[in-house]
Copies of this chain bind each other. A is one copy, B any other.
Amino acid sequence: MQKKSLKEQGYKLTKPRQLILDFFSRRSQPASVNQIYRALKAKIDKVTVYRVLAVLQEVGLIFEEPGEKESLYYAAKKQHHHIVCRVCGLSQCLPCTHFFSKIKNFSAIEHKMTISGLCKKCAH
């Protein structure tokens, strides 16, 4: 089954929401709030960016991820791990192994991981 739209889930399709959905349809890499805000050349308030991202995440149209500098990043595809260059920010997907399937004493396990390094261009 494919993703339900905002309207199908009882949310209005507003101009800010449309702008941010368009942004993600053009972009495959994860993006921070500020990257999104700047990409829209401040056509919408930054508070609205936060609120729209919360809604889009709520309805499963985007996904949150941990990041290096700004802590919240979002992407159009479900969360998996990345390696990020600490100099230029180049980011590359990593195959997602399933760590820790049998941890004792804890339930409802979640994990967040950031792997960073220097890409060829930045390594000297």
Bound-state Cα–Cα, A66 to B113, Å: 10
A42 at the binding interface (Cβ < 8 Å):
no
Asked if B117 and A109 make an inter-chain contact with CB atoms under 8 angstroms apart, the answer reads: yes
Q: How large is the interface on A (under 10, 10 to 19, 20 to 34, 35 or more residues)?
A: 20 to 34
Contact among B107, B109, B114, B119 with A111 in the assembled complex (CB-CB below 8 Å)? B114
Q: Quickly give the copy total for this chain.
A: 2
Asked if A103 and B123 make an inter-chain contact with CB atoms under 8 angstroms apart, the answer reads: no
Query: Restricting to A73-124, which residues have a CB under 8 Å from any CB of B?
Result: 83, 85-86, 92, 94, 97, 99-100, 103, 105-120, 123
Bound-state Cα–Cα, A106 to B118, Å: 5
A2 at the binding interface (Cβ < 8 Å):
no
Bound-state Cα–Cα, A94 to B63, Å: 27
Asked if A123 and B108 make an inter-chain contact with CB atoms under 8 angstroms apart, the answer reads: yes
Bound-state Cα–Cα, A86 to B109, Å: 9
Contact among B97, B99, B103, B116 with A109 in the assembled complex (CB-CB below 8 Å)? B116
A116 contacts across to B, CB distance below 8 A: 109-111
- Give 29 pairs: A residue, B residue, CB < 8 Å, sorted on A: A66-B112, A71-B71, A83-B100, A83-B103, A83-B106, A83-B109, A85-B106, A86-B108, A97-B99, A100-B115, A103-B115, A106-B119, A106-B120, A107-B118, A107-B123, A108-B118, A108-B123, A109-B115, A109-B116, A109-B117, A110-B116, A110-B117, A111-B113, A111-B114, A111-B115, A111-B116, A112-B113, A113-B113, A113-B114
